[in-house]
Each structure stands twice: as structure tokens, then as C-alpha cells.
Structure 1
Amino acid sequence: MNKSFFRQVIITNRRISRAVFSRLRNFYYRFLGVKLDGYVWMQSIEIPHNTRDIKIDNFCALDKGIVLLSAGEPLPHPRIHIGSYTYINRNTFLDAILSLTIGQYCAIGPGCYITDHDHGLDISLPPLQQPMIAKPTKIGDRVWIGANVTILKGVTIGNDAVIGAGSVVTKDIPEKAIAVGNPAKVIKYRSEL
């Protein structure tokens, strides 16, 4: 038997193992209360608490090291909602206390931080006693977010937009825009390409 045969067997066994563990994670998180609309491909992710405040639609893929953090009292709507066919790459952190929505068919690069809140700046209070200030954050459909992007509270990113790697998004980005930088600014539109 040649080496390529054994290599193929090993690769196949790894794929089967990942698929089995992904299905077990689906079962586990459903049991904890995460609303999974169909099958979601999941590597080793973390949902520390408030699992009932998270909704993930069918055919999403969540890679290793992703954290879905939902904090606060129960709300009538999901705090974190990820649309169908969206892929979130490794070590991305979604942090919500009000509403963080990601549309369908999105691609989110590794190492991103996306939130719907921050702390106040009252001079009479120490940093950890500052009140939380929240505004809904919304990412439209078919949005492509590069590696290590930060998206702050209250931002809406329009459908078909592209956010360049390392950008910090502090204001709304219109549909089909390509935005880069800190703070992120529109440099052109996809329709111009």
C-alpha cells in the first residue's frame, strides 16, 4: 500500500470525526436552548451563558474559537441572530446585550470583534462601574468582512458591502460599499469595479 492511500484514509477519518462532533455540538446547544434553524456546522465554539438569546439559521458555519456572548435579562427577540449560509471564521467574538444581527450569505474573517454596546464615560465612576450603552448593530446580506475587523455599536452595514481587513467600523456603511481604515471610510463601490 502506498503513502497516498494512508494519507487519504487519515483525511477521511478526520472529516468524519469533525462531522460527528459538529452534529453532537448541534444537539448539545439545542439542549441548552440555542435556536438552531436546521443544521449548523460547528467547530469548538463557546457560548458562556444566555443560550436562549441566540438564533442561528440553517447551513451556517462557525469555525474554532468563536465566542457568542449574550448578556442581560431575557428579551422577546434574539440578542444574536446569524442568517442562513453565513460563515464565521476562527476566533471571532460576537458580544451583544440588545441586538446584533448578521444577514445571510455573509463571510466574516478571523479575529473579528462585533458588538452592540460599550461603556459610558461618566468621570465620577470607575471604568467597571460605567453603565452600558447599547444600540442595535446590523450586518446586511452577502457582506464580506476581512480579518481582524472591529464593528462597534449602532452600526448598520448595507447588503453586498466589503469591509477591509483591520478596519474599525464606527459609522454606517452603505450597500455595495468597500470600506477600509480606522475609522472605516468608503473608498469605492462594488458597482464601480
Structure 2
Amino acid sequence: MSATATAPVGGHVVAGRLPAPARALVHLGLRAVTRAYRLRYGRRLVVGEDVIIFGGLKLQQGTTLHLGDRVRVRRGVIVNGGGEVHVGADTLLNGCWIGATTRVDVGRRCLVSDCFVTDSDFHNLDPAERHLPPGPRSRKPVVIEDNVWIGAQAWVLKGSRIGRDSVVSAVSVVRGDVPPAVVVLGNPATVVKHLPPAPEHV
């Protein structure tokens, strides 16, 4: 048996894996947590089939969050701004902060780490208007296409569009368009590697 293989312990337990009844109980508990969030946020939280919220989700008043089928929401996710956020099926949100005053779209099968995504400056750049409510020039929707990975502490700023299959490296700052199937790095984020395109998924 290889060093990484699981080994029987006693007659019923396998090292590194919960028994099936225990896994079922954990799953039921997580589904109960998800239902509690749906009751808490009402119509502002729209979820698809088999969505799991692990806890710690904060959804600001006036903001709407749409979660596609089988989305996983880990602890520490904050969504605010009063706009709409749409997350595609099979995506993982892990400790991220999303500010949507208009709309933020996250595609399918994405990995969104503890990063920052915003469609607004949240303050006017003009010094004379800085303490006034942000105007339309300070806001522009964000689109993250399918199968994108956003690394820890990265920033995706207003008006950005990240192409399918791309990777935003940790601590990078994106403002504008990122081509499909590339790795970007730095501030401002620039292409450092081209990736083979992923096969089409149904």
C-alpha cells in the first residue's frame, strides 16, 4: 500500500475519511446553515440546487446575491454596495470581498480566493466632489468569465473583464481586460504566461 493510500482502522473507519453516516450528518448540518442564511436574507439571496454556505456570509442591506447550482461559499465572504452579484455554477467563493454598486458577474467553475472585487471607486476622484455620493463615472460593472482563478489579496477593479481560464496571481491589481487563458501578475497586472485553453465543459 502506498504512503498516500487510506488504510483501514478497525472494521469501520478509514484513516483520513469520515464514515458515510458521519459525512451525511455533516452535509445535513451544512444544508441547515444554508437554509438559515436563506431565511435571514430572504429574496436578496437566491440560490440554486445543492448550494452550500459554510457560514460567515455577510450580505449588506440592498445588495442581491445570486448563487448558481453547487456553489460553495466559505467563511468570511462579504458582499455589499447595493447592487447585484451573480455567481455561476460550481464556483468557490473563499473569504472574498465583493463590492457591487451596479453588477458583478462571476462565471462557472471559478476559484475566488480572499481577494477584493469592486465595480466602483466608492468615492469621487474629483476633490470637490469627494465627500458626495459617487456618481456614474465612478462605477462600471465587472465580468469574471468561466474557470477563472483569482489569487489571495488580488484586486479586481471597476470595469474589468477577466477572460475564461485565466489566473490572477496573488496581490495583483487588475483594471481593464485580461485575455483568456493567461496568467497575470503585478500592479498593474500584466501577462506573464499563456495557458493551454481548457476543454469545453457542458
TM over 0.5: yes
Structure 1 residue ranges without an equivalent (≥5): 73-78
Give aligned-pair identity as a percent.
27
Q: Of the candidates 7, 25, 33, which is equivalent to residue 44 of structure 2?
A: 33
Question: Displacement, 1:28?
Answer: 1.6
Give the AA of the match of 2:67: I
Alpha-carbon distance between aligned partners in 2 of 1:103 and 1:25, rounded to the nearest angstrom = 25
Q: Which residue of 2 aligns with 1:113?
A: 116
Alpha-carbon distance between aligned partners in 2 of 1:172 and 1:162, rounded to the nearest angstrom = 13
Structure 2 residue ranges without an equivalent (≥5): 1-9, 198-202
Residue 183 of structure 2 corresponds to residue 172 of structure 1 = no
Alpha-carbon distance between aligned partners in 2 of 1:181 and 1:29, rounded to the nearest angstrom = 39
Alpha-carbon distance between aligned partners in 1 of 2:36 and 2:127, rounded to the nearest angstrom = 44
Deviates most, 29-38 or 181-190 = 29-38
Question: Displacement, 1:136?
Answer: 1.1
Q: Which residue of 2 aligns with 1:57?
A: 68
- Alignment check: 8 A CA contact 1:122 1:130 kept: no
Alpha-carbon distance between aligned partners in 2 of 1:40 and 1:29, rounded to the nearest angstrom = 16
Q: Which residue of 1 aligns with 2:150?
A: 145
Q: Of the candidates 43, 53, 67, which is equivalent to residue 54 of structure 2?
A: 43
Question: Displacement, 1:171?
Answer: 2.0
Q: Of the candidates 33, 51, 57, which is equivalent to residue 22 of structure 1?
A: 33
Q: Of the candidates 183, 190, 197, which is equivalent to residue 185 of structure 1?
A: 190
Q: Of the candidates 77, 80, 86, which is equivalent to residue 69 of structure 1?
A: 80
Give the alignment's TM-score, normalised by structure 2.
Answer: 0.77
Q: Which residue of 1 aligns with 2:4?
A: none
Alignment length (residue pairs): 178
Alpha-carbon distance between aligned partners in 1 of 2:88 and 2:107, rounded to the nearest angstrom = 5
Give the AA of the match of 1:40: V
Residues 130 and 31 from structure 1, CA distance in 2 versus in 1: closer, same or farther, beyond 3 angstroms?
Answer: closer
Larger radius of gyration: 2
- Alignment check: 8 A CA contact 2:124 2:131 kept: no
Please list the CA deviations of residues 89-147 of structure 1 after superposition, one character each: whole Å capped at 9, or x if unmatched.
12x111101110000000011x211011113221223x332524111100000001111
SS at match of 2:131: helix
- Alignment check: 8 A CA contact 2:184 2:191 kept: yes
CA RMSD in angstroms, aligned pairs only: 2.6
Residues 175 and 157 from structure 1, CA distance in 2 versus in 1: closer, same or farther, beyond 3 angstroms?
Answer: same
Alpha-carbon distance between aligned partners in 2 of 1:130 and 1:22, rounded to the nearest angstrom = 36
